[in-house]
Structure 1
Amino acid sequence: MSRPRAAIVVTGSELVRGDRNDLNGPFFAREALGLGVEPARITVVGDGPDELESVLREAIGTNELCLVSGGLGPTHDDRTVEIVAKVAGLDLRLDPALEQRIEKVSRLIADRLRRPYADFVPGVRKQATLPTGAVPLGPAGTAPGLVVEAGSCVVVVMPGPPAELRRLWPLALDTEPMRRVLADVRPPDRHVLRFYGVSESAVARALEEAGGDGDGVEATICARDFEIHVDLVADAGAQRRVDELAARLRDPLREYLFAEDERSVQEIVLEACRQRGFRLATAESCTGGLVAARLTEVPGSSEVFVGGVVAYADEVKRDELGVPTELLAEHGAVSGEVAAAMARGARARLGADVAVAVTGIAGPGGGTADKPVGLVHFHAVSPDDEVGLQFELPGERAWIRSRSAVTALHLVRRLLARSEHDQA
């Protein structure tokens, strides 16, 4: 049985202009696929009524499910609800119970802003006006979500702020129209293999030599966060084929395979340290704290991560990390020797067991013939081992810094894995 298809429509002129990145489309797609629904497409559209109506009309007319975010606010350019109603051929009606809930929140906002509630009344009534037969969700903030049937398509409309959308999503799943769409589907079997240090073309070649997809298995290769991910998604009864394909990919790419789950590299590093009772520190120059930021975005990282030093200037490298002045003078701040001294200094001065250091030239200026923009040195040290690495990463400043942060974490991962193997 074929899976139902979902069209995802993300509204907001600020997204079309590039002022903000879309987080809702990928969230909807991941959730849909996890439920057994095939994400057909993600469309980002501005707030213009003609463009929005055209996109919604196609999405609703050709899919079993349409997931929409944005355009539920109280202002004139929040048009999603009225256009959904127009496309579905439904009247708009005020929901008195929903109006009371939104009014309660709006009065609190009015009091906090010291404005008369009368200023909010038109917006409250607008947000409480829904297509006939719609199931209201929330609100989250003052914006409610809704689920409504438009012919053979179930339309889920959510607020634009990602936190509000994610808060209301479980409520949408619990509505009768959504339960009916999902009644006869099951989540697909999925296997992910994650590689680092190998090219996308090499992984594609290995996949082809392993037999490729088909026979109920869809294989996709994607570069994500400077890693190469292979996603194997299986229809019912095709799990054996997934297992065979994964096994044939492991052998030729084993040295690059670092995970077969969804954990980030920072989660893997923290867990490896936790299992061995290690404390972790960072010393960063060109990355400016990005390595530490990735580590501390993981809940519970404080059990392992003790802190970091952003040593941008040479005097900070010297005074805070103990890098010898003569080493800086002889080799320069961007060198393997200084990276090693930074890592050892962070480990000693922050009382850590493991430390990693990054120093490089992120550009756009500052490069020379001997040390071009994009040259980055890394060094990681543990109680029983250490390893250094040099990369030349041509590209723009933000790309070099982001790639360097990921590389530093993978260097720690490799060091810990090597140490563990040596002890086994």
Structure 2
Amino acid sequence: MSRPRAAIVVTGSELVRGERTDRNGPFYAREALSLGLVPERILIVGDDPVDLEAALRAARESPVCLVSGGLGPTHDDRTVELVARVAGAALRVDERLEREIEAVSRSVAERLGRPYADFAAGVAKQATIPEGAEVIGIAGTAPGLVVRGGGCVFVVLPGPPGELRRLWPAALASEALGAVLARTVPPSRHVLRFYGASESAVARALAEAGGDGHGVEATICARDFEIHVDLVVEPGAEERGDSLAEALRGPLARHLFTEDERTIAEIVLDLCRPQGLRLGTAESCTGGLVAARLTDVAGASDVFAGGVVAYANDVKAAELGVPEELLAAHGAVSAEVAAAMAGGVRRRFGVDVGIAVTGVAGPGGGTPEKPVGLVHYHVSAPGLEKGREFSLPSDRETIRSRATVASLHLARRVLTRSRHEVV
């Protein structure tokens, strides 16, 4: 069975100018793939109507076109108008939708202390939709729409990622998109995540196993200092997919840390929960990035108590109890101070696990003995203390990111009592 193809059109001049990073295109692509569609392209265009219409016309050649952005009340929000033109549908005001958007707008006007008249024109604009479009809900005041036209099903959702994801299940339940998905057979997947292995080592292991093809598509991606391998397996090729996954597990077993799509922060939190452990962070050069990764995870509060950003030595001493003589003897960037910071945050917050990071992120501040890129990190847990270091000559952002990821992976190894000590 030939799988239907899906084109993705993401609109917003702020994306084209590089002011924001597109999150909707990758989300759409992952979802399309999991549903059995083939994501063939992601087109990112600005708000210029000529460019947007051209992108929509090109995307109309696919059975499905997933669109995000341009559904607001202002003059440069033209997506609905252009989808209607490309689909060959007239525009009309949907009175029921207009009442819904009006109710939301009146509530906003009241909270802001502004007259509703300021919002009225935008309400009428957002309630004007293509003839025959299915309204699947609203997010804020932006409607989600499913539109048939020219042999293509257009799914049109708002640009803010949270709003798009909230309306996505309703799009899947729509009659038009459901009819396309009924013709698909979703592929199976193997997800393997490695830490401490090089991209070339993973590629070599895959090649030695026979490589992809014959119903299995393999992607190898270096991301956040991890190597992510996805094997997309077409129906009928399951045995080959299983064989390739097993071939990767064998020589790289010591580096394999998960076979699902959880982030390292999620894994650390999940390891703490069944043991009833609480966790705190003490950070210098990372400036709170470790805490940020952990609190990016919804529900982290049942494990993560808090963090201390102890940039200055006097803060390390006052807030974390790092002895001043230890700082004088070894310096702030040292294994001894990292260990003292990890123990200090455990005492400070009364937690079971402390993660500490201290280093020279640069671009200045390095010495021959302690160059830019030297980082010490330490994890203190009940019955086990582990510290590590790395020295990575690089830019400030890379050093801080590497330190964040490395400290979380060390926490994973401590919490699992792993015998593998890869950096």
Judge same fold: TM > 0.5, yes or no: yes
Q: What letter is aligned with 2:269?
A: L
Where does residue 306 of structure 2 map in the other structure?
307
Where does residue 97 of structure 1 map in the other structure?
96
CA–CA distance in structure 2, aligned partners of residues 173 and 254 of structure 1 = 38
* 1:60-103 residue CA offsets vs partner (Å, 9 max, x unmatched): 12x11000011111111111111112222222122222122212
Where does residue 10 of structure 2 map in the other structure?
10
Change in CA separation of 1:420 and 1:347 when aligned onto 2, cut-off 3 Å? farther
User: Secondary structure in 2 aligned to 1:206?
Assistant: helix
Bigger CA drift: 369-378 or 13-22? 369-378
State the shift of 1:420 in Å: 8.6
* Pair 1:347 & 2:346 matched: yes
Bigger CA drift: 45-54 or 310-319? 310-319
State the shift of 1:361 in Å: 1.3
User: Secondary structure in 1 aligned to 2:250?
Assistant: helix
Where does residue 190 of structure 1 map in the other structure?
189
State the identity as a percent.
Answer: 69
Where does residue 48 of structure 2 map in the other structure?
48
State the shift of 1:22 in Å: 1.3
Q: What letter is aligned with 1:56?
A: L
Cα pair 1:358 1:408 within 8 Å, conserved: yes
* 1:21-62 residue CA offsets vs partner (Å, 9 max, x unmatched): 21211111121112111111111110011111111111112x
Q: What letter is aligned with 1:49?
A: P
Change in CA separation of 1:113 and 1:282 when aligned onto 2, cut-off 3 Å? closer
Bigger CA drift: 93-102 or 201-210? 93-102
Bigger CA drift: 107-116 or 157-166? 107-116
* Pair 1:223 & 2:222 matched: yes
Q: Which runs of 5+ in 2 are unaligned?
A: none
Change in CA separation of 1:257 and 1:349 when aligned onto 2, cut-off 3 Å? same
Over aligned residue pairs, what C-alpha RMSD do you find? Answer: 1.7
CA–CA distance in structure 2, aligned partners of residues 161 and 263 of structure 1 = 23
Change in CA separation of 1:104 and 1:346 when aligned onto 2, cut-off 3 Å? closer
Cα pair 2:35 2:185 within 8 Å, conserved: yes
User: Secondary structure in 1 aligned to 2:108?
Assistant: helix
CA–CA distance in structure 2, aligned partners of residues 242 and 114 of structure 1 = 60
CA–CA distance in structure 1, aligned partners of residues 383 and 419 of structure 2 = 10
CA–CA distance in structure 2, aligned partners of residues 142 and 282 of structure 1 = 40
* 1:159-207 residue CA offsets vs partner (Å, 9 max, x unmatched): 1111221121111111111110101213211110100011111111111
CA–CA distance in structure 2, aligned partners of residues 228 and 315 of structure 1 = 39
Where does residue 250 of structure 1 map in the other structure?
249
Where does residue 240 of structure 1 map in the other structure?
239
CA–CA distance in structure 2, aligned partners of residues 97 and 292 of structure 1 = 45
Change in CA separation of 1:367 and 1:5 when aligned onto 2, cut-off 3 Å? same
User: Secondary structure in 2 aligned to 1:120?
Assistant: helix
Cα pair 2:249 2:256 within 8 Å, conserved: yes
User: Secondary structure in 2 aligned to 1:190?
Assistant: strand
Q: What letter is aligned with 1:127?
A: Q
State the shift of 1:118 in Å: 2.9
* TM-score normalised by the chain length of structure 2: 0.95
Cα pair 1:15 1:22 within 8 Å, conserved: yes
State the shift of 1:358 in Å: 0.3
CA–CA distance in structure 2, aligned partners of residues 122 and 257 of structure 1 = 56
CA–CA distance in structure 1, aligned partners of residues 129 and 300 of structure 2 = 44
CA–CA distance in structure 2, aligned partners of residues 217 and 167 of structure 1 = 32
Q: What letter is aligned with 2:44?
A: V
Cα pair 1:289 1:310 within 8 Å, conserved: yes
* TM-score normalised by the chain length of structure 1: 0.94
Q: What letter is aligned with 2:134?
A: V
Where does residue 22 of structure 1 map in the other structure?
22
Change in CA separation of 1:420 and 1:334 when aligned onto 2, cut-off 3 Å? closer
